Structure 1
Amino acid sequence: MGVEDKREHLKEEPFSFQIMKNQSVVISYNHKVIKTINGKEAAKFINKIENEEGNIQLLLAKLTGNFKRGNERLSKEHPKQQ
Protein backbone atom coordinates (compact mmCIF):
# COMPACT_ATOMS: atom_id res chain seq x y z
CA MET A 1 0.00 0.00 0.00
CA GLY A 2 3.00 2.32 0.39
CA VAL A 3 3.13 2.71 -3.40
CA GLU A 4 -0.28 4.40 -3.39
CA ASP A 5 0.51 6.70 -0.46
CA LYS A 6 3.88 8.07 -1.57
CA ARG A 7 3.89 11.01 0.85
CA GLU A 8 2.66 8.81 3.74
CA HIS A 9 -0.14 11.18 4.75
CA LEU A 10 -2.42 8.26 5.60
CA LYS A 11 -0.16 7.10 8.44
CA GLU A 12 -1.64 9.95 10.47
CA GLU A 13 -5.11 8.42 9.86
CA PRO A 14 -6.89 11.64 8.82
CA PHE A 15 -10.02 9.81 7.65
CA SER A 16 -12.71 8.35 9.86
CA PHE A 17 -16.14 6.90 9.22
CA GLN A 18 -19.36 6.20 11.05
CA ILE A 19 -22.04 3.68 10.06
CA MET A 20 -25.49 5.11 10.72
CA LYS A 21 -28.66 3.20 11.72
CA ASN A 22 -30.02 3.38 8.17
CA GLN A 23 -26.80 1.73 6.88
CA SER A 24 -25.45 4.92 5.33
CA VAL A 25 -21.80 5.77 5.95
CA VAL A 26 -20.54 9.23 6.92
CA ILE A 27 -16.88 9.85 5.99
CA SER A 28 -14.88 12.56 7.77
CA TYR A 29 -11.49 14.11 7.09
CA ASN A 30 -9.79 15.67 10.13
CA HIS A 31 -13.11 15.55 12.00
CA LYS A 32 -15.03 17.37 9.24
CA VAL A 33 -17.76 15.52 7.33
CA ILE A 34 -16.86 15.43 3.65
CA LYS A 35 -19.04 12.70 2.15
CA THR A 36 -22.03 10.49 2.90
CA ILE A 37 -22.60 7.29 0.98
CA ASN A 38 -25.68 5.08 1.02
CA GLY A 39 -27.35 2.29 -0.90
CA LYS A 40 -25.22 -0.20 -2.80
CA GLU A 41 -22.06 1.85 -2.40
CA ALA A 42 -22.43 1.88 1.40
CA ALA A 43 -23.21 -1.84 1.50
CA LYS A 44 -20.09 -2.59 -0.55
CA PHE A 45 -17.97 -0.41 1.76
CA ILE A 46 -19.36 -2.03 4.93
CA ASN A 47 -18.65 -5.48 3.47
CA LYS A 48 -15.02 -4.52 2.75
CA ILE A 49 -14.60 -3.15 6.27
CA GLU A 50 -16.06 -6.29 7.86
CA ASN A 51 -13.75 -8.49 5.78
CA GLU A 52 -10.78 -6.17 6.45
CA GLU A 53 -9.80 -5.95 2.79
CA GLY A 54 -6.82 -3.64 2.40
CA ASN A 55 -5.88 -0.39 4.05
CA ILE A 56 -8.99 1.33 5.44
CA GLN A 57 -7.44 4.81 5.20
CA LEU A 58 -6.61 4.26 1.53
CA LEU A 59 -10.10 2.95 0.87
CA LEU A 60 -11.63 6.04 2.49
CA ALA A 61 -9.33 8.33 0.49
CA LYS A 62 -10.40 6.66 -2.74
CA LEU A 63 -14.08 6.91 -1.83
CA THR A 64 -13.75 10.67 -1.44
CA GLY A 65 -12.67 10.96 -5.07
CA ASN A 66 -9.11 12.29 -4.87
CA PHE A 67 -10.04 14.68 -2.09
CA LYS A 68 -6.47 15.96 -1.70
CA ARG A 69 -4.25 15.87 -4.78
CA GLY A 70 -1.36 17.93 -3.45
CA ASN A 71 -1.40 20.53 -6.22
CA GLU A 72 -3.65 23.11 -4.57
CA ARG A 73 -0.82 25.54 -3.84
CA LEU A 74 0.51 25.36 -7.40
CA SER A 75 -2.88 26.05 -8.93
CA LYS A 76 -3.22 29.28 -6.93
CA GLU A 77 0.03 30.53 -8.43
CA HIS A 78 -0.91 29.65 -12.02
CA PRO A 79 -0.82 32.67 -14.41
CA LYS A 80 -4.42 32.10 -15.56
CA GLN A 81 -5.64 32.57 -11.99
CA GLN A 82 -4.27 36.10 -11.67
Structure 2
Amino acid sequence: MSAASGFTYTQRSDGTIAITHRGRAAATLRGARAAKFLDEIAAGDEQLVMARWTGAYKFGNERQARRHPRNQGR
Protein backbone atom coordinates (compact mmCIF):
# COMPACT_ATOMS: atom_id res chain seq x y z
CA MET A 1 0.00 0.00 0.00
CA SER A 2 1.40 3.39 -0.90
CA ALA A 3 1.53 6.25 1.55
CA ALA A 4 -1.06 8.98 1.35
CA SER A 5 -0.06 12.24 -0.31
CA GLY A 6 -1.51 15.56 -1.37
CA PHE A 7 -2.75 16.65 2.06
CA THR A 8 -2.03 20.04 3.62
CA TYR A 9 -3.37 21.76 6.69
CA THR A 10 -3.66 25.36 7.78
CA GLN A 11 -4.09 26.57 11.32
CA ARG A 12 -6.28 29.67 11.35
CA SER A 13 -6.11 32.50 13.87
CA ASP A 14 -9.38 31.43 15.53
CA GLY A 15 -7.91 28.00 16.37
CA THR A 16 -9.62 26.01 13.62
CA ILE A 17 -7.65 23.73 11.34
CA ALA A 18 -8.53 23.37 7.67
CA ILE A 19 -7.33 20.19 5.96
CA THR A 20 -7.20 20.17 2.16
CA HIS A 21 -6.51 17.35 -0.26
CA ARG A 22 -5.11 18.38 -3.62
CA GLY A 23 -6.46 21.89 -3.15
CA ARG A 24 -10.00 20.92 -2.15
CA ALA A 25 -11.42 21.21 1.36
CA ALA A 26 -11.46 17.84 3.10
CA ALA A 27 -12.13 18.65 6.78
CA THR A 28 -12.36 21.45 9.31
CA LEU A 29 -11.44 20.76 12.93
CA ARG A 30 -12.27 22.93 15.93
CA GLY A 31 -11.67 22.92 19.66
CA ALA A 32 -10.54 19.69 21.32
CA ARG A 33 -10.46 17.81 18.01
CA ALA A 34 -8.07 20.39 16.56
CA ALA A 35 -5.78 20.08 19.59
CA LYS A 36 -5.78 16.27 19.37
CA PHE A 37 -5.05 16.48 15.63
CA LEU A 38 -2.01 18.71 16.26
CA ASP A 39 -0.72 16.26 18.89
CA GLU A 40 -0.99 13.38 16.41
CA ILE A 41 0.70 15.40 13.66
CA ALA A 42 3.64 16.10 15.96
CA ALA A 43 3.98 12.41 16.83
CA GLY A 44 3.54 10.71 13.45
CA ASP A 45 3.55 10.87 9.66
CA GLU A 46 1.60 14.00 8.69
CA GLN A 47 0.17 12.61 5.46
CA LEU A 48 -1.14 9.41 7.03
CA VAL A 49 -2.59 11.26 10.01
CA MET A 50 -4.46 13.68 7.73
CA ALA A 51 -5.70 10.81 5.57
CA ARG A 52 -7.06 9.05 8.64
CA TRP A 53 -8.72 12.18 10.03
CA THR A 54 -10.44 12.93 6.71
CA GLY A 55 -11.40 9.32 6.00
CA ALA A 56 -9.50 9.37 2.70
CA TYR A 57 -7.33 6.32 3.21
CA LYS A 58 -7.37 3.01 1.39
CA PHE A 59 -10.06 0.59 2.39
CA GLY A 60 -8.52 -2.55 0.88
CA ASN A 61 -11.03 -3.14 -1.90
CA GLU A 62 -9.31 -1.20 -4.69
CA ARG A 63 -7.98 -4.27 -6.49
CA GLN A 64 -11.35 -5.97 -6.37
CA ALA A 65 -13.12 -2.85 -7.69
CA ARG A 66 -10.67 -2.57 -10.58
CA ARG A 67 -11.82 -5.98 -11.87
CA HIS A 68 -15.55 -5.13 -11.63
CA PRO A 69 -17.31 -5.10 -15.05
CA ARG A 70 -18.46 -1.51 -14.50
CA ASN A 71 -14.82 -0.39 -14.38
CA GLN A 72 -13.54 -2.26 -17.42
CA GLY A 73 -11.85 -0.07 -20.00
CA ARG A 74 -10.79 2.62 -17.52
Q: Same fold (TM over 0.5)?
A: yes
Report the identity percentage: 23
Matched, 1:77 2:59: no
Partner of 1:61: 51
| Equivalent pairs, count | 66
Indicate how the Cα distance of structure 1 residues 68 and 53 shifts in structure 2: closer, same or farther if over 3 A, else same: closer
Q: Please show how residues 1-82 of structure 1 align to structure 2 within 5 Å.
A: 6=1, 8-10=2-4, 13-49=5-41, 52-65=42-55, 67-69=56-58, 71=62, 74=65, 77=70
Q: 1 or 2 for the larger relative contact order (CA 8 Å, sep ≥6)?
A: 2
Q: CA deviation at 1:31?
A: 1.1
- Report Cα offsets for 1:16-62 as digits up to 9, x if no partner: 0000111110000011111101111001112333xx20101110000
Aligned-residue CA RMSD in angstroms?
2.5
1: CA distance, partners of 2:27 / 2:18: 6
Please give the TM-score of this superposition, normalised by the length of structure 2: 0.71
Please give the TM-score of this superposition, normalised by the length of structure 1: 0.65
- Runs of 5+ in structure 1 lacking a partner? 1-5
Q: What SS does structure 1 have at the residue aligned with 2:18? A: strand
- Runs of 5+ in structure 2 lacking a partner? none
